[in-house]
């Protein structure tokens, strides 16, 4: 993979150091020159932290570091203190499904949870599902996303050449939905996407009750076995007696939890088929080699 895309995706610095990046490579120019990557440029604190660790790596490898790099590095060091210092340090991350159009997401990359919420970053399962959907016909007029977090699955649907008429992004967490709303604006898809608070297991009330959604999507929403019955209850409400389907991407952290999900689906008369088990999200999206596989399920009413 070209280093540019992991850089714009702001992958963890320690993961970047697994590659031998040469002082003369293109990404080093972008690293210290804020304007060079335009709107997609990572924030100063990320660029500085990567530059610092690269210098240490180059010194260890006995490489000659160009004078110009040191000058820019010093300037970057001085400026990096001026990044905002919010409780959750957010930044704009760019995910490239195609080379032309990134999906841009305001998020806290690498943050696992904040105030008990897990939706402040995009998880690998979402990236895998975005890639899976990109290669296929969507064939849906109305799309609903469950546990949307940053919302990039729904937003990616709205960015297609032939988008659905409506994409509704739902989550239980109002703060997460507020960030998702900013992502909708950032990607300029407010004509198609709306946000809606929704907790799994709750009855479907207006505007989620009618007409039915053709496609329901969700990623990394099966991690808590105590919530799985509620989630499956929602799937049952959304799919029952309909000619529609859900595509749910589940990170395979714990096989027992996936078994709970499969059993719960069977118990609620939902057919649950494994479409793919993979960690691949396309050549331009970086996913750590350490990340668990993702299982994509298709779920329909029996
Ligand atoms: C691990 S994050 C995944 C976010 C996003 N789908 C992704 O893959 O990047 C789980 C998301 O589910 C939401 N969530 C957790 N419990 C929920 C519930 N009971 N009802 C609705 N959403 C819930 C969280 O707020 C969070 O945004």
Tens of pLDDT, residue by residue over 192-217, are 999 999 999 999 998 898 789 999 99
Question: In the chain, what is the straight-line distance between the N-terminal and C-terminal CA atoms, in Å?
Answer: 42
Q: What is the pLDDT of residues 218-231, one digit of tens each?
A: 999 999 999 999 99
Q: If you measure from the C-alpha of residue 147 to the centroid of ligand 1, how many angstroms do you get, rounded to a whole number?
A: 4
- At 79 the pLDDT is 64
d(Cα 190, Cα 234) in Å, to the nearest integer? 25
Residue 86 has a pLDDT of 44
In the chain the domains, ranked by start, together with CATH numbers, are: 4-82 (no CATH), 91-301 (3.40.50.150)
Which pLDDT does position 88 carry in this prediction? 62
CA nearest neighbour of 31 among 4, 65, 58: 4
Closest protein CA for atom 4 of ligand 1? 149
With the most atoms of ligand 1 within 8 angstroms of its CB, the residue from 144, 172, 225 to mutate is 172
Q: Which of 9, 95, 110, 119 to mutate to test the pocket of ligand 1 (most atoms within 8 A of CB)?
A: 119
CA 14 → CA 36, 44, 57, 171, 202, distances in Å?
23, 17, 11, 31, 41
Atom of ligand 1 nearest to the CA of 153: 6
pLDDT tens string, the chain, 302 residues long: the values are 577 888 888 888 888 888 888 888 888 878 877 777 777 778 877 888 888 888 888 888 888 888 778 777 777 666 655 444 445 678 899 999 999 889 999 988 777 776 677 888 899 999 999 999 998 999 899 999 999 999 999 999 999 999 999 999 999 998 889 999 999 999 999 999 999 999 999 999 988 987 899 999 999 999 999 999 999 999 999 998 889 999 999 999 888 889 999 999 999 999 999 999 999 999 999 998 889 999 999 999 99
**CA 294–ligand 1 middle distance (angstroms):** 16
Residue 66: what pLDDT?
80
pLDDT at res. 115: 64
Nearest atom, ligand 1, residue 145 CA: 6
Q: Which pLDDT score, from 0 to 100, does residue 103 have?
A: 96
For residue 234, the model assigns a pLDDT of: 97
The rounded Å distance from CA 53 to ligand 1 centre is 33
**Dihedral angle, C-alpha 110, 115, 117, 118, nearest 10 °:** 10
- The pLDDT score that the predictor gives to residue 279 is 94
* pLDDT for res 36: 73
- Cα dist from 2 to 25, 48, 61, 137, 268, whole Å: 10, 20, 21, 28, 45
DSSP annotation of 36:
G
**What pTM does this model have?**
0.85
Q: What is the pLDDT of residue 85?
A: 45
pLDDT at 286: 92
CA nearest neighbour of 7 among 45, 33, 40: 40
123 CA: nearest ligand 1 atom: 9
Instruction: Report how many helices (DSSP H) and strands (DSSP E) the chain contains, helices first.
Output: 10, 9
Q: Name the residue among 190, 207, 115, 116 with its Cα closest to residue 151.
A: 190
Ligand 1 centroid vs 15 CA: distance in angstroms?
A: 25
- 132, 147, 181, 218: residue to mutate for ligand 1 pocket, most atoms within 8 A of CB: 147
CA dihedral for 119, 122, 125, 128, sign (positive or negative)? positive
pLDDT score, position 87: 54
To the nearest 10°, report the CA torsion of 102, 104, 107, 111. Answer: -10
Inter-residue contact 236 to 245 (CB < 8 Å):
no
- Ligand 1 mean position to 119 CA, how many Å? 6
Q: How far is the CA of 98 from the centre of ligand 1 (A)?
A: 26
Q: What is the pLDDT of residue 259?
A: 94
Asked if 124 contacts 33 with a C-beta cutoff of 8 angstroms, the reply is no
Q: CA angle, corner 149, sides to 86 and 106, nearest 5?
A: 45
Query: Pocket of ligand 1, candidates 130, 171, 202, 204: which has the most ligand atoms within 8 Å of its Cβ, to mutate?
Result: 171
Q: Phi first, then psi: what are they for 201, rounded to 5°?
A: 90, -15
Question: What is the residue whose two structure tokens read 């739902």?
Answer: 170
For residue 15, the tally of other CB atoms under 10 A from its CB is 14
Distance 126 CA to ligand 1 centre (A): 11
pLDDT digits (tens, 9 = 90+) for 54-101: 888 888 888 888 877 877 777 766 665 544 444 567 889 999 999 988
Nearest ligand 1 atom to the CA of 230 is: 19
Compute the distance between CA of residue 27 and CA of residue 3 in angstroms, rounded to an integer: 6
Give the residues surrounding ligand 1 with Cβ less than 6 Å away: 117-119, 122-123, 125-126, 147-150, 171-173, 176, 199-200, 219-221, 227, 230
């Amino acid at each position: 993979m070209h280093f540019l895309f992991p850089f714009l995706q702001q992958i963890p610095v320690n993961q970047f150091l697994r590659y031998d990046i040469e002082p003369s490579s293109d990404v080093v120019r972008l690293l210290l020159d804020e304007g060079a990557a335009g709107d997609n440029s990572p924030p100063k604190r990320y660029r500085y932290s990567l530059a610092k660790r690269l210098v240490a790596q180059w010194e260890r490898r006995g490489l000659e570091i160009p004078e110009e790099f040191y000058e820019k590095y010093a300037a970057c060091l001085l400026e990096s203190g001026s990044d905002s210092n919010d409780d959750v340090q957010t930044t704009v991350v760019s995910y490239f499904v195609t080379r032309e159009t990134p999906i841009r997401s305001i998020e806290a990359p690498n943050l696992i949870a904040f105030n008990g919420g897990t939706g402040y970053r995009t998880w690998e399962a979402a990236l895998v599902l975005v890639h899976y959907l990109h290669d296929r016909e969507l064939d849906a007029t109305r799309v609903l996303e469950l546990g949307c977090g940053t919302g990039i699955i729904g937003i990616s649907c709205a960015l297609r050449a032939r988008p659905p008429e409506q994409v509704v992004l739902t989550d239980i967490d109002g703060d997460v939905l507020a960030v998702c709303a900013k992502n909708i604006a950032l990607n300029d898809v407010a004509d198609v996407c709306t946000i809606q608070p929704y907790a799994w297991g709750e009855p479907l009330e207006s505007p989620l009750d009618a007409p039915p959604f053709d496609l329901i999507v969700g990623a990394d929403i099966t991690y808590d076995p105590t919530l799985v019955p509620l989630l499956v209850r929602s799937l049952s409400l959304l799919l029952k007696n309909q000619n529609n389907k859900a595509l749910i991407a589940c990170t395979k952290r714990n096989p027992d939890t996936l078994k709970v999900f499969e059993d719960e689906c069977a118990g609620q008369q939902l057919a649950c088929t494994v479409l793919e088990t993979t960690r691949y999200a396309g050549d331009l999206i970086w996913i750590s080699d350490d990340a668990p596989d993702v299982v994509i399920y298709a779920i329909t009413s029996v």
